[in-house]
């Protein structure tokens, strides 16, 4: 039986972009099910790959030389859609991402990494005539609360003045506040190299900075959902008069995901690590919800899978497969990500035939 298969993964961490992952899954599927019609529609929740997914669909892809998370210059890609009002799509991971640290995160990088390059990207967007700036949040190596971004724009007061009348959108599905046990430092700091002592230092620094953000905005920014996204960059964007929108929903709208789901007999999605967080506002959960409404089965291909069959069933996911298991080790799954994902996809396609 010939199927219409929607292939719509997120990025696989630093191993594969969403575009690359979608291409790999499609190649593997075709090897076993050459007659199936494939709809290849890579997705993003605002993290790494946000710009890659949009490039080619919306306006012109541009490259800007900006400060990386540790001051070395990096080439950051962004997309400008010149149609009124003129929209710039930026991705914080292009300027302050974990992958730009030059090696594994450490205590020192956790303290030193900043968001100055994000501010430089915003300045470039303003210079291009953007009146709407959408910033994808996720994959950052910094926990500076967006202070570096503000400095690059001339400081908090100057940044608010420069962006007066500009629509600012923080594209993120993270709901964490800025501070506290669910905040940027406590939850995400350890992923960025912070030990317990460093987490406490980052929390103190964010607490002092939050006073300025709250005062500028005239409300307790620190407590708002999404303020803790990207090491507190979400809070800074909110203090500039921005609002948070679902990154997955933004991408879904621009890629025509609803129409693709209507046409699909089977949905395949995936990401680097498929765990409990994946079921709360991430690409996989959004796709599973849309597919469930249509009675369409969903398969997940991920670098690693930590969820039980019962958890998969509750989320409306038919099955999940790990590249690490197919490859025989996590190390091989990372080092040979493309070929291993192709191989896994071929094996899954054959089993679902």
Residue 31 belongs to some domain of the structure: yes
CA distances from residue 103 to 70, 107, 109, 135, 270 in whole angstroms, order as listed: 12, 12, 10, 25, 25
Residue 338 belongs to some domain of the structure: yes
Do 58 and 160 lie in one domain? The reply is: yes
Do 94 and 203 lie in one domain? The reply is: yes
Do 240 and 262 lie in one domain? The reply is: no
CA atoms of 133 and 169, how far apart (whole Å): 6
Nearest to 42 by CA among 7, 14, 13: 7
Do 108 and 168 lie in one domain? The reply is: yes
Do 157 and 296 lie in one domain? The reply is: no
Domain containing residue 180: 50-245
Q: Of 198, 227, 245, which marks where a domain is finished?
A: 245
Do 212 and 275 lie in one domain? The reply is: no
Do 192 and 57 lie in one domain? The reply is: yes
The pLDDT, as a whole number, for residue 281 is 65
Do 180 and 274 lie in one domain? The reply is: no
Do 132 and 67 lie in one domain? The reply is: yes
The pLDDT, as a whole number, for residue 1 is 77
Quick one: which H or E segment has residue 245? strand 243-245
> What CATH number corresponds to the domain at position 270?
3.40.50.10350
The pLDDT, as a whole number, for residue 155 is 97
Low-confidence residues of the chain: pLDDT under 50: none
Do 271 and 318 lie in one domain? The reply is: yes
On whether the pTM is more than 0.75, the answer is: yes
Do 62 and 205 lie in one domain? The reply is: yes
Report how many domains make up the chain. 2
Residue 250 belongs to some domain of the structure: no
Do 301 and 264 lie in one domain? The reply is: yes
The pLDDT, as a whole number, for residue 45 is 87
């Amino acid at each position: 039986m010939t199927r219409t298969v929607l292939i719509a993964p997120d990025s696989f961490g630093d191993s594969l972009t969403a575009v690359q992952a979608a291409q790999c899954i499609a190649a593997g599927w075709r090897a076993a099910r050459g007659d199936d019609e494939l709809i290849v529609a890579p997705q993003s929740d605002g993290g790494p790959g946000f710009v890659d997914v949009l490039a080619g669909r919306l306006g012109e892809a541009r490259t800007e030389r900006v400060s990386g998370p540790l001051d070395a210059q990096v080439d950051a890609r962004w997309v400008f859609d010149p149609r009124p009002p003129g929209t710039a799509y930026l991705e914080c991971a292009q300027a302050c991402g974990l992958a730009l640290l030059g090696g594994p995160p450490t205590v020192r990088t956790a303290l030193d990494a900043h968001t100055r390059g994000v501010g430089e990207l915003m300045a470039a967007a303003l210079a291009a005539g953007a009146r709407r700036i959408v910033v994808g949040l996720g994959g950052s190596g910094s926990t500076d609360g967006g202070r570096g971004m503000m400095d690059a724009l001339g400081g908090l007061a100057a940044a608010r003045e420069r962006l007066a009348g500009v629509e600012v959108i923080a594209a993120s599905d993270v709901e964490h506040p800025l501070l506290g046990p669910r905040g940027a430092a406590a939850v995400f700091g350890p992923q960025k190299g912070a030990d317990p002592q460093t987490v406490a230092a980052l929390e103190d620094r964010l607490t002092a900075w939050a006073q300025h953000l709250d005062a500028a905005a005239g409300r307790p920014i620190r407590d708002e959902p999404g303020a803790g996204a990207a090491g507190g960059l979400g809070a800074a964007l909110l203090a500039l008069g921005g609002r948070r929108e679902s990154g997955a929903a933004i991408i879904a709208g621009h890629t025509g995901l609803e129409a693709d789901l209507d046409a699909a007999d089977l949905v395949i999605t995936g990401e680097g690590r498929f765990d409990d967080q994946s079921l709360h506002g991430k690409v996989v959960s959004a796709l599973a919800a849309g597919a469930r409404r249509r009675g369409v089965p969903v398969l997940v291909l991920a670098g690693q899978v930590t969820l039980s069959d019962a958890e998969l069933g509750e989320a409306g996911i038919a099955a999940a497969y790990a590249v690490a298991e197919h490859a025989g080790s996590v190390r091989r799954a990372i080092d040979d990500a493309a070929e291993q994902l192709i191989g896994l996809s071929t094996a899954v396609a054959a089993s679902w035939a």
